[in-house]
Amino acid sequence: MKLDSQRLKKDFPILQQQVNDEPLIYLDNAATTQKPAAVLDALQMYYETSNANVHRGVHTLAERATNQYEAVREKVRQFIHANETAEVIFTRGTTTSLNWIARSYGEANVFEGDEIVLTYMEHHSNWIPWQQLAKKTGAILRFIPLLESGELDLKAAEELIGGKTKIVAVSHCSNVLGVINPITELAEMAHQAGAVVVVDGAQAVPHMPVDVQELAADFYTFSGHKMLGPTGIGILYGKRHLLEQMEPVEFGGEMIELVEEEDSTWKELPWKFEAGTPNIAGVIGLGAAIDYLSTIGMEKVHIMEQELIAYLWPQLEKIDGVTMYGPTDPAVRTGVVSFNLEGIHPHDVATAMDMEGVAVRAGNHCAQPLMRRLNLQSTVRASFYLYNTTEDVDKFVAAIQAVKEFFQYGTL
């Protein structure tokens, strides 16, 4: 059965409002997604019935909170097809997960003259941690170039990834170009070279089925808030044998086994990485988000987004002055559409669209190196999700026309 986005939209209280006297059309889902009532209810229910610290108390509430918290780890494991819950670590989000991998795995395994391979489309969160690691260790950063279509140049990747490569860090989906990258192929290249592959899955996990084993990812990271869950919660997945070698990045309560005056030992995986009181409510909310998405089915979410883009793309192509970025082939793209309107600054476009009730993002999208490669300062970005309908697309297209009229496109 096809996804009924109109019906799903009713599950999201925030989407029932008007903005600037127009029904809200929320198209900034790559920045963060809205939360269904099921997630909001789970948060409230947790605080009303089960709030306690986890892994510490023996009282009923502590046990209830701990059980709920650990049950979500199992849900995440199933959702991404990890081997075991020991490989699922709760963090603050993708950014934290990537920083931890660079700090812990990176500093222990990357040395002077080693190479770290990135792509030119990486978000700053999958760029700066490696840049800092390279500065600290004397390693060299190499970059996989992009083809004209916005896809990665895999021939160039094959040449770049070699004996000196220690890490290949790549986004599964770009937050600007909407392109889906071929992680399995890149992982194969990395593994043949004896390197590990670190995947930034922030824009993938919310939008398509992800199987970390099928992808052969050594590390995989994502954020709860981009998949209907709360902010401040994310996941670091790593293969057990890699996580076991790694030192924790943060130290304190909860992650220790034995503390002596001069030395300490750590808990086993995954808890050795979870120092301090974790974001328990965030974890519970993420669990509710996973339930919501799983009931729908991620394959359906993916297909629905592709259909929406297939409906939008030709309409955008017809508008005089619109330039779109990223691949035209819907098979390799998600619901992220970056574009510019000739002669009108992206921020002006986004502000004028807001007057029509349409929320889009303008800027460099935390991808300055990519913007430089594209010879751009910024773009407008509309990013779609499961509650966006073809009517939303129509209103979005109409809003672009209205913006053009407002700025008297072609007459100045």
Footprint on residues 359-398 left by ligand C6P (CB under 6 A):
361, 365-366
Q: Does 119 bind ligand C6P (CB under 6 A)?
A: no
Ranges of beta strands (E only) in 120-218 are 140-144, 165-171, 196-200
Contact, 7 vs 382, CB < 8 A? no
Q: Which of 33, 50, 171, 306 binds ligand C6P (CB under 6 A)?
A: 171
Asked if the peptide bond before residue 13 counts as cis, ω within 30 degrees of 0, the response is no
Q: In this structure, which amino acid lies at residue 204?
A: A
CB of 94 to ligand C6P, least distance (A): 4
Q: Does 175 bind ligand C6P (CB under 6 A)?
A: yes
Q: Does 203 bind ligand C6P (CB under 6 A)?
A: yes
Q: Is the dihedral of CA 163, 167, 173, 174 positive or negative?
A: negative
Nearest to 219 by CA among 368, 99, 327: 99
Helices (H) and strands (E) in the chain, counts: 15, 17
Q: Does 285 bind ligand C6P (CB under 6 A)?
A: no
Q: Which of 31, 38, 86, 376 binds ligand C6P (CB under 6 A)?
A: 31
Q: Which stretch binds ligand C6P (CB under 6 A): 146-154, 197-205, 264-272, 350-358?
A: 197-205
CB of 309 to ligand C6P, least distance (A): 17
Footprint on residues 209-268 left by ligand C6P (CB under 6 A):
223
Which residue in the block uniquely carries the two structure tokens 């034995």?
258
278: CB partners within 8 A, 6+ apart? 54, 69, 90, 254
Q: Which stretch binds ligand C6P (CB under 6 A): 15-23, 55-63, 92-100, 323-331?
A: 92-100
Residue 366 is a catalytic residue: yes
Residue of 40, 303, 319, 366 marked active site: 366
Q: Does 66 bind ligand C6P (CB under 6 A)?
A: no
Q: Which of 8, 15, 25, 30 binds ligand C6P (CB under 6 A)?
A: 30
346: CB partners within 8 A, 6+ apart? 340, 362, 363, 377, 378, 379, 380
Q: Which stretch binds ligand C6P (CB under 6 A): 146-154, 198-206, 250-258, 401-409?
A: 198-206
The sheet that has 88-91: what strands, in order across it? Answer: 88-91, 234-238, 219-223, 196-200, 165-171, 115-119, 140-144
Q: Which residues are catalytic?
A: 366
Residues engaged in binding ligand C6P (CB under 6 A): 30-31, 93-95, 123, 125-126, 171, 175, 200, 202-203, 223, 361, 365-366
